[in-house]
Structure 1
């Protein structure tokens, strides 16, 4: 039986689990982005490195999440219910997704633009920061959206090893035969994923005004 009056009586607990879910899912995205950008840059510059890094990243992503959650405590020496296990595992998954996205995004930058920047005296580092990376943002944001939504979903699996977040509502609901917790957990996870995806989409449009300008020019034509 669904007891809706349970919700207002437990808003504090729900809010804590919501905040923990956000922390567990979004911190790995930020860390993985910092790691993936240089790795993707290397993969884009060197076909040999790309042949190693991209398949290796894909292989990492095939490891089932619950297996990685259980294996990491033995490697790191942490408690199995430590949030650090979840964050490191999700960082690994996010790097696995973003390395290919960064490499593909940089490869999509027109070679004429890169050549023009080089002719203007841009060194590789400055050219990457000032020209290549900004132009790669639209493709990179697309990969970041996939990774973020995936993380928000995968965090719920951590409840199986005792880590909190909204997944705890799901496991408690099943154990207690209390569907209210299950419904609230599922709805909040879906809403979080949709909000995160929408915010990243808006961020991508905001930091790439030239894309909007190009789209407006095409529509007028």
Structure 2
């Protein structure tokens, strides 16, 4: 049965989601400020990177949840989830740019080219930028619905790049458990879309 919250209830859900999405940031800030981390730059870089993947997965999960539950209002949360994925990706990049390179652009550029796991991570971050910039209603109207949808399908590229970045980062420590879990989740979420697309195409061919 479809559940449709009232406008007031939906506003409350959005406010709660916004507050919850900021909890990881507040926690990292607090632990850094109180000196709880032995290596704060590494800890914040790792923490923000994890939350990028969490929010990418949550963003991709909206459509399957909507289709299987009939809760169409979930679509109205997807933009916020995607923007928080970008927010944590920006913090992740900032820690890399500042913590590892002291805002030295040439040094950062060499590192991006030299190390494959940074290359794919940087590519994923760059691809997130146009999605964040076109997340407003005004940009949707300016681009047109179809072009906007095609642009935001970059998420199907960004998520695997994020997994690959995480996998290569963990390769040096021979710890693949988390990358595999994230990889399976993303594979299922993207696989469902491929299945729906093929089913739709077959139905159209038979019509």
Same fold (TM over 0.5): no
The alignment's TM-score, normalised by the length of structure 1, stands at 0.37
Identify which of structures 1 and 2 has the higher relative contact order when contacts are C-alpha pairs closer than 8 Å and 6+ apart: 1
**Larger of the two Rg values belongs to structure:** 1
